[in-house]
Structure formats: C-alpha cells, structure tokens
Amino acid sequence: MKRIGFVLKVKQEKIEEYKEHHRNVWPEMQAALRATGWHNYSLFLRDDGLLFGYFETPHDLATATAQMAATEVNTRWQEMMAPYFESPDNARADQMLVELEEVFYLA
C-alpha cells in the first residue's frame, strides 16, 4: 500500500463552507473512493486554508486520481468544490494535488 500526502489551498473566506461539505460527504462519493482504492483518507486544514490530505492506495497518485476522475460522482463533487480552492481558472482540486515526498515513516 502506498501512502500519499498532498497539499491544496482553500480560500480563507470559504473555509467554514468547505468544512460543512466535508461533514456531509455524499455516501456515493465515499463509496467511489473506497471502490477505487482510497483508504484511510484524511484531510487536515490549517486556519489560513492550507489543506493537507493523506490516503493509502495500492496505486500511485496519478492512477488513484485517474480512477476517481472516471466516476460520475467525482465529476459532480469536483465541480461543486472547485470554487473553494485557490487555483488558476477555477481548476478542479483533483487536478491540482501537489504530492509531498515522504521522508519518514514509523510503523
């Protein structure tokens, strides 16, 4: 299982709305994540909007995101969430993930 860490930036004025959406992630979105190999998925948000994400997958980041991109529910979710992120041209968050290098792991 590969461990993936990534960062994104949520617009500061949208943080509370962003958190509310994630308290109510659609069941079909959760099912799609599981079905495409996203496990132990967590999001952590700093007060200034810096978002750190972590998940485990049998795939690399490109494959994991491509499999999710192929689902209809992910398309709807990404379109809904795009305005929440600092991004050029309101890009989808799943197309802007900046993968972090793992430099230490304690099992």
Mean pLDDT of 3-31: 97
- For the segment 45-88, what is each residue's pLDDT rounded down to a tens digit? 999 999 999 999 999 999 999 999 999 999 999 999 999 999 87
Domain at 2-100: CATH code: 3.30.70.100
Statement: residue 105 has pLDDT above 90: yes
This prediction has a pTM of 0.91
Q: Select which of 21, 22, 39, 59 is catalytic.
A: 22
Is 21 designated active site? no
- Neighbouring residues of 7: CB distance < 8 A, sequence distance ≥ 6: 50, 51, 52, 53, 97, 98, 100
Among 96, 79, 4, CA closest to 42: 4
pLDDT band at 44 (very low <50, low <70, confident <90, very high): very high
Averaged pLDDT score across all residues of the chain: 95
